[in-house]
Amino acid sequence: MLSKFDKDSDGSIDWIEFLEMMQQVKKAGGSNFGQALDTKGGAAAQVTSESGGHHNYLMEEVSMIARTITRACKDDELIADRMPINPDNDDLFHACSDGMVLIHLLNHIEKDSVDMRTVNKGSNLNLYKVRENLDQAFAVAKGMIKVVGIDA
Protein backbone atom coordinates (compact mmCIF):
# COMPACT_ATOMS: atom_id res chain seq x y z
CA MET A 1 0.00 0.00 0.00
CA LEU A 2 2.85 2.36 0.82
CA SER A 3 4.51 1.84 -2.56
CA LYS A 4 1.18 2.51 -4.25
CA PHE A 5 0.96 5.98 -2.66
CA ASP A 6 4.67 6.91 -2.71
CA LYS A 7 4.27 8.96 -5.91
CA ASP A 8 7.82 10.33 -6.00
CA SER A 9 9.34 6.90 -5.11
CA ASP A 10 11.60 8.38 -2.44
CA GLY A 11 10.91 5.57 0.03
CA SER A 12 8.84 7.69 2.40
CA ILE A 13 5.31 8.98 2.54
CA ASP A 14 5.00 12.76 2.68
CA TRP A 15 1.94 14.56 4.06
CA ILE A 16 0.03 14.81 0.75
CA GLU A 17 0.69 11.14 -0.03
CA PHE A 18 -0.45 10.21 3.48
CA LEU A 19 -3.70 12.14 3.02
CA GLU A 20 -4.36 10.38 -0.29
CA MET A 21 -3.72 7.03 1.37
CA MET A 22 -6.13 7.81 4.21
CA GLN A 23 -8.80 8.90 1.71
CA GLN A 24 -8.47 5.48 0.06
CA VAL A 25 -8.83 3.78 3.45
CA LYS A 26 -11.92 5.87 4.17
CA LYS A 27 -13.43 4.95 0.78
CA ALA A 28 -12.80 1.28 1.53
CA GLY A 29 -14.96 1.50 4.63
CA GLY A 30 -12.49 3.03 7.04
CA SER A 31 -13.39 0.70 9.87
CA ASN A 32 -10.77 -1.93 9.09
CA PHE A 33 -7.42 -0.58 7.90
CA GLY A 34 -6.16 -4.11 7.11
CA GLN A 35 -8.90 -4.74 4.56
CA ALA A 36 -7.77 -1.71 2.52
CA LEU A 37 -4.32 -3.19 1.87
CA ASP A 38 -3.42 -4.13 -1.67
CA THR A 39 -2.04 -7.64 -1.17
CA LYS A 40 -0.65 -8.07 -4.71
CA GLY A 41 -1.89 -11.52 -5.62
CA GLY A 42 -2.90 -12.83 -2.23
CA ALA A 43 0.31 -12.32 -0.27
CA ALA A 44 -1.81 -11.70 2.83
CA ALA A 45 -4.73 -13.67 4.23
CA GLN A 46 -7.48 -12.88 6.68
CA VAL A 47 -9.35 -15.29 8.92
CA THR A 48 -12.64 -14.38 10.57
CA SER A 49 -13.44 -16.17 13.81
CA GLU A 50 -16.89 -17.33 14.86
CA SER A 51 -17.09 -14.38 17.26
CA GLY A 52 -16.46 -11.93 14.42
CA GLY A 53 -12.79 -11.17 15.12
CA HIS A 54 -10.43 -10.70 12.20
CA HIS A 55 -6.87 -12.00 12.11
CA ASN A 56 -4.46 -11.03 9.34
CA TYR A 57 -1.23 -12.79 8.45
CA LEU A 58 1.28 -12.75 5.62
CA MET A 59 1.84 -15.89 3.58
CA GLU A 60 5.59 -15.13 3.60
CA GLU A 61 5.55 -15.42 7.41
CA VAL A 62 3.64 -18.72 7.28
CA SER A 63 6.14 -20.08 4.75
CA MET A 64 9.17 -19.04 6.80
CA ILE A 65 7.75 -20.44 10.04
CA ALA A 66 6.72 -23.74 8.39
CA ARG A 67 10.22 -24.19 6.93
CA THR A 68 11.87 -23.34 10.26
CA ILE A 69 9.70 -25.78 12.22
CA THR A 70 10.32 -28.51 9.64
CA ARG A 71 14.08 -27.97 9.86
CA ALA A 72 14.13 -27.90 13.68
CA CYS A 73 11.73 -30.78 14.34
CA LYS A 74 12.35 -33.13 11.41
CA ASP A 75 13.78 -35.86 13.68
CA ASP A 76 11.19 -35.68 16.49
CA GLU A 77 9.38 -39.02 16.57
CA LEU A 78 6.18 -37.81 18.25
CA ILE A 79 5.45 -35.28 15.51
CA ALA A 80 7.00 -37.14 12.56
CA ASP A 81 3.55 -37.60 11.02
CA ARG A 82 3.26 -33.80 10.66
CA MET A 83 6.65 -33.32 8.98
CA PRO A 84 7.42 -31.79 6.61
CA ILE A 85 4.99 -28.91 6.95
CA ASN A 86 4.08 -27.57 3.51
CA PRO A 87 5.11 -23.89 3.44
CA ASP A 88 2.75 -23.05 0.56
CA ASN A 89 -0.62 -23.66 2.22
CA ASP A 90 -2.26 -23.68 5.66
CA ASP A 91 -0.72 -26.98 6.88
CA LEU A 92 1.12 -24.99 9.56
CA PHE A 93 -2.12 -24.20 11.38
CA HIS A 94 -3.28 -27.81 11.33
CA ALA A 95 0.12 -29.14 12.45
CA CYS A 96 0.20 -26.76 15.42
CA SER A 97 -3.43 -27.12 16.51
CA ASP A 98 -2.90 -29.43 19.50
CA GLY A 99 0.24 -27.84 20.96
CA MET A 100 2.63 -30.73 20.26
CA VAL A 101 4.69 -28.80 17.70
CA LEU A 102 5.02 -25.84 20.07
CA ILE A 103 6.05 -28.17 22.90
CA HIS A 104 8.76 -29.72 20.73
CA LEU A 105 9.98 -26.28 19.60
CA LEU A 106 10.23 -25.15 23.23
CA ASN A 107 12.24 -28.27 24.05
CA HIS A 108 14.58 -27.44 21.15
CA ILE A 109 15.08 -23.94 22.54
CA GLU A 110 15.72 -25.16 26.07
CA LYS A 111 16.19 -28.88 26.63
CA ASP A 112 13.49 -30.46 28.80
CA SER A 113 11.67 -27.16 29.35
CA VAL A 114 8.43 -29.14 28.97
CA ASP A 115 8.33 -32.45 30.82
CA MET A 116 7.15 -34.88 28.14
CA ARG A 117 5.70 -37.19 30.81
CA THR A 118 3.01 -34.57 31.47
CA VAL A 119 2.07 -34.03 27.82
CA ASN A 120 -1.06 -35.61 26.35
CA LYS A 121 0.03 -37.65 23.35
CA GLY A 122 -1.92 -39.31 20.58
CA SER A 123 -3.60 -38.52 17.31
CA ASN A 124 -7.17 -38.18 18.54
CA LEU A 125 -7.01 -35.93 21.62
CA ASN A 126 -10.22 -34.47 22.98
CA LEU A 127 -10.63 -30.72 23.46
CA TYR A 128 -9.67 -30.83 27.14
CA LYS A 129 -6.40 -32.69 26.54
CA VAL A 130 -5.53 -30.30 23.70
CA ARG A 131 -6.24 -27.37 26.04
CA GLU A 132 -3.95 -28.88 28.69
CA ASN A 133 -1.12 -29.18 26.15
CA LEU A 134 -1.59 -25.62 24.93
CA ASP A 135 -1.82 -24.22 28.48
CA GLN A 136 1.39 -26.00 29.43
CA ALA A 137 3.18 -24.85 26.28
CA PHE A 138 2.15 -21.21 26.71
CA ALA A 139 3.11 -21.26 30.41
CA VAL A 140 6.63 -22.38 29.45
CA ALA A 141 6.78 -19.92 26.53
CA LYS A 142 5.82 -17.04 28.84
CA GLY A 143 8.85 -17.89 30.94
CA MET A 144 11.13 -17.52 27.90
CA ILE A 145 9.63 -14.68 25.88
CA LYS A 146 7.04 -11.95 26.22
CA VAL A 147 3.69 -13.44 25.14
CA VAL A 148 0.86 -10.92 24.94
CA GLY A 149 -2.77 -11.63 24.14
CA ILE A 150 -2.28 -15.31 23.35
CA ASP A 151 -3.78 -18.23 25.20
CA ALA A 152 -4.90 -21.77 24.46
Domains of the chain: 1-38 (no CATH), 59-144 (1.10.418.10)
The conformational region for residue 125 under phi > 0 = left, psi -120 to 50 = alpha, else beta, is beta
pLDDT tens figures, 23-82: 777 776 555 555 445 444 446 777 777 788 877 788 888 888 899 999 888 888 888 888
Provide the mean pLDDT of the chain.
Answer: 80
The residue-averaged pLDDT of 103-114 equals 88
Spatial contact of 125 and 133, defined as CB atoms under 8 Å apart: yes
Q: So what's the pLDDT on residue 1?
A: 64
Among 53, 54, 32, 34, smallest CA distance to 43 is for 34
> DSSP letter at 77?
G
Structure confidence at residue 152 as a pLDDT band (50, 70, 90): low
How far, in Å, CA of 104 to CA of 76, rounded? 8
Q: So what's the pLDDT on residue 30?
A: 52
**What are the φ/ψ torsions at residue 100 (nearest 5 degrees)?**
-65, -40
Is 142 or 23 the better-scoring residue by pLDDT? Answer: 142
